[in-house]
């Protein structure tokens, strides 16, 4: 068997033997060895965004006269190959890493430099001097993280819109289906499933607004600020054109922060965005809790909703079917809420001119975007779209519930109505029956007051009131 050829690379710590065929270098290899936290590598969108920044920097540095044409073209060519998705195995830096993303930035620098040399024999391209020219990890990594978040966001917003449309469809279909409203898990005044589904639609509409508002802060980047936001080692041309050039390549709409020092050291934009996703997670979990409760049974529970049966629910109880889709969405919500706690703590722990903990923030925020989008998609496709309302059960609950007596209080008074309710419960008789047999109100008025329209707050006419 042949022996793999190795090359010796060095850094400020020492030397290391690297597989000669590897596009990564010593900085990437040290990261792989130093941070064996999990098997999770850098998110592909962070890598893609860093490569787009390297390509933009090579083009701008050429125009500024700080990078010669051969090196600029070689870097651009290498970046183009990487943006096609090739050589992904060369990105070995872990998702969770120390040094504020230096390992991520250097992994990309090394791969671009080695690939540029491989594609242009005889040309020497240095990872730091050439590929990283006019940059620092401290402005490229945060910018790439925000770019990745922005690229993930459309899928999440689309998923929310599909959920909202499904809820509006249910609201329209069951607009006149009366149900018993419940507060503190006790019977309250009647409402309709149209109202119920429309309320969920309103809740998720607010989530869309929160995420869209939080998105604006992500578009403001510190690219051009280099190490701490002062722009050391950049040219005026680079400062003025690097962000527009990245926009041309990425098709994003980034803006350069007006205060690059602030944008380099403070991470409140991530907290705001993560918080918006946490609010979405809370709303999703509450919604799924309601679905599981309203569909409970089917014999011994509320059984007002019928959720699509997706799989067998027990290895011991035949024919048992569980609400597995709402359950998995609940679990996603728990994870997203935990991710938000991590983002909050990491943003707070930043010190002075730089926050060292962006790697974990980016990992968790991108994970939350992915989990939420996927969870909502399965919630819509495998649950909400197939929900049906057990209208017979709802009608039965309303007719045998004492809460309908609430509509009688303006006519009989609170105390008299209370006695009526107690009697109905004790004698197991309906409110309607007692009202008519005791001649407490005119029959026509009774029918109106206990009608679905009136129970859901359509006002009684003066003519009917006068008849009583």
The residues annotated with a catalytic role in the active site are 314
C-alpha 7/C-alpha 117 separation (Å) is 15
C-alpha 133/C-alpha 65 separation (Å) is 12
* Nearest residue to 66 (alpha-carbon basis) of 2, 132, 157, 149: 132
Other Cβ atoms closer than 10 A to 426: 8
Q: Any residues with CB less than 8 A from the CB of 25 and at least 6 apart, and which?
A: 9, 18, 106, 110, 113, 114, 127
* Nearest residue to 152 (alpha-carbon basis) of 312, 392, 298, 366: 366
SS3 call for 354: strand
* 104, 361 contact by CB (below 8 A): no
**Which residues in 276-401 belong to E strands, given as ranges?**
305-306, 388-389
Q: 344: part of which helix (H) or strand (E)? A: helix 324-348
Is the alpha carbon torsion for 294, 296, 300, 306 positive or negative?
positive
**CA distances for 36 relative to 16, 96, 99, 359, angstroms:** 18, 9, 15, 14
**Which residues in 359-398 belong to E strands, given as ranges?**
388-389
SS3 call for 236: helix
* Nearest residue to 275 (alpha-carbon basis) of 359, 357, 218, 354: 218
> Phi and psi of 323, rounded to 5°?
-80, 70
* 372, 159 contact by CB (below 8 A): yes
Tokens 């008025």 — which residue?
A: 445
C-alpha 371/C-alpha 367 separation (Å) is 6
C-alpha 456/C-alpha 195 separation (Å) is 9
- And the tokens for 400? 């045998």
SS3 call for 290: helix
User: Crossing angle of helices 102-119/44-64, nearest 10°?
Assistant: 60
C-alpha 211/C-alpha 155 separation (Å) is 12
Q: Any residues with CB less than 8 A from the CB of 378 and at least 6 apart, and which?
A: 325, 328, 329
> Phi and psi of 314, rounded to 5°?
-150, 145
């Amino acid at each position: 068997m042949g022996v793999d050829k190795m090359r010796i690379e060095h850094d400020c710590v020492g030397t290391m033997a690297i597989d000669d065929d590897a596009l990564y270098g010593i900085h990437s290899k040290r990261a792989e060895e130093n941070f064996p936290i999990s098997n999770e590598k850098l998110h592909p969108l962070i890598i893609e965004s860093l490569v787009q920044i390297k390509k933009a920097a090579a083009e701008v540095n050429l125009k500024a006269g700080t990078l010669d044409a051969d090196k600029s073209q070689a870097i651009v060519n290498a970046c183009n190959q990487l943006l096609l998705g090739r050589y992904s195995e060369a990105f070995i830096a872990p998702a969770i890493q120390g040094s504020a993303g230096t390992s991520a930035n250097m992994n990309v620098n090394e791969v671009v430099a080695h690939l540029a040399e491989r594609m242009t024999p005889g040309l020497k391209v240095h990872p730091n001097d050439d590929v990283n020219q006019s940059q620092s990890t401290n402005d490229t990594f945060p910018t790439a993280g925000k770019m990745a978040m922005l690229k993930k966001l459309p899928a999440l917003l689309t998923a929310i819109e599909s959920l909202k449309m499904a809820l509006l469809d249910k609201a329209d279909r069951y607009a006149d289906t009366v149900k018993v409203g419940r507060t503190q898990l006790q019977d309250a005044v009647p409402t309709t499933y149209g109202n119920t589904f429309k309320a969920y639609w309103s809740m998720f509409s607010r989530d869309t607004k929160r995420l869209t508002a939080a998105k604006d802060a992500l578009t403001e980047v510190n690219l051009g600020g280099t190490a701490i936001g002062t722009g050391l080692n950049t040219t005026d041309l680079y400062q003025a054109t690097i962000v527009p050039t990245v926009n041309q390549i990425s098709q994003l709409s980034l803006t350069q922060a007006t205060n690059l020092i602030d944008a380099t050291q403070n991470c409140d934009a991530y907290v705001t965005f993560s918080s918006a996703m946490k609010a979405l997670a809370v709303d999703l979990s509450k919604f799924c809790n309601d679905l599981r409760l309203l569909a409970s049974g089917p014999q011994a529970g509320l059984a007002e909703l019928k959720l699509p049966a997706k799989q067998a629910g027990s290895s011991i109880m035949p024919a048992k079917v569980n609400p597995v889709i709402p359950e998995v969405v609940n679990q996603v919500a728990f994870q997203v809420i935990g991710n938000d706690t991590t983002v909050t703590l990491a943003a707070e722990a930043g010190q002075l001119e730089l926050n060292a903990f962006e790697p974990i923030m980016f990992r968790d925020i991108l994970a939350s975007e992915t989990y939420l989008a996927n969870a909502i998609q399965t919630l819509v496709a495998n649950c909400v779209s197939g929900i049906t309302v057990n209208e017979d059960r709802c009608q039965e609950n309303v007719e045998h519930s004492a809460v309908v007596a609430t509509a009688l209080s303006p006519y009989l008074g609170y105390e008299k109505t209370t006695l009526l309710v107690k009697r109905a419960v004790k004698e197991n008789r309906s409110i309607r029956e007692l009202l008519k047999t005791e001649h407490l109100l005119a029959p026509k008025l009774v029918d109106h007051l206990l009608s679905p329209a009136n129970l859901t707050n359509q006002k009684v006419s003066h003519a009917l009131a006068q008849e009583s």
